[in-house]
Amino acid sequence: MQVPLCMELKIPVIEQCTVANSIHRGDLMVENLAAYLDRNKNLVFPHRHNFYHFLVFTAGSGTHSIDFERFDVQPWQIYFMSPGQIHSWHFEGDIQGFVVNFDRDFFKTFLLRPESITNFSFFSGLVKDGVFMVGAEERAAVLNILTRLLDNVADHNFARVSLLYLFHVLEKQRGLNKGSNSHVYNHTLLRNFLDLIESNYQTLRLPKEYAAMLYITPNHLNALSNEFLGISAGELIRNRIVLEAKRLLAIHDQAIADIAYTLNFNDNSYFTKFFKKATGLTPDEFRRSIALTHK
């Protein structure tokens, strides 16, 4: 089937209604992966979603890419995606598993602070946090939760409770819900830093500007970033700018000078130098490499 796009936007964004079957249209979709892929055979090009999306493989092989990072498919691999991330895939063999899509507002009437789901590490928007293996001890529980979700998808309150339980199981597996109060506080600070970058990366480029909004020193912010992510605060900000540049170059038809302007670079040559220093390619070379990859 031909997958409709949101044509009023220049960037291809897949709406949940276009990938759901007639039973699951709405703010939640839970489906057998093989059936989902069979109905969406053409959905292999790089695209964004406007909803949260995660997928559990229980069998099969191939590759999938999220924000230009490529992964080999393995049984019991799981990947999470937040709205706006780009992905594509090339699956092989007998692909089995589960796919779950839910709207940004799915928990709005259920949680006092529905935005708190982004506190789960796999919804950070960082690719390295969103792709991992389900542990051997957790697989039976994960399979049970997803099977029951599939059978009771129409009961949204049951689905909300089940999803939150699943998220806690996976977070516990990763050992990220443990630690001292200071560890939790620092993790919250870092999460807030990531949120601020997401909202301000086009206009604020300096760590000290973000540190001021978090009421901490630039040195403290840099130490947090290095401790949790292994890179400096400045590099984290630059990485977000580079990522958006890659996204725009990959799925946009606008001129590179216009992309530079969109990202608040007044000088196109400076944008080219900035991008090449980060990636080893000029913007035009990167765009051509993506076109060749998806021919």
pLDDT per residue as tens digits for the range 207-225: 999 999 999 999 999 999 9
Give the start-to-end residue ranges of the domains of the chain. 13-173, 181-293
In this structure, which topology does domain 13-173 adopt according to CATH? Jelly Rolls (2.60.120)
Report percent pLDDT > 90 for the chain: 56
Q: What is the mean pLDDT of residues 280-284?
A: 95
- Please name which of 290, 288, 287, 286 lies closest in space to residue 278, comparing C-alpha atoms: 286
For residue 261, pLDDT beyond 80: yes
- Look-up: residue for tokens 């001292």? 180
Q: Which residues pair with 81 in a beta bridge?
A: 53
pTM of the model: 0.76
| C-alpha–C-alpha distance, residues 281 and 295, integer Å | 20
| Percent of the chain as helix, strand, coil, to the nearest 5 | 50, 20, 35
Q: How confident is the model at residue 264 (pLDDT cuts 50, 70, 90)?
A: very high
Q: How confident is the model at residue 120 (pLDDT cuts 50, 70, 90)?
A: confident
> How many other C-beta atoms can be found within 10 angstroms of the C-beta atom of residue 285?
14
Angle at 62 between CA 57 and CA 65, to 5 degrees: 85
**pLDDT value at position 124?**
82
In this structure, which topology does domain 181-293 adopt according to CATH? Arc Repressor Mutant, subunit A (1.10.10)
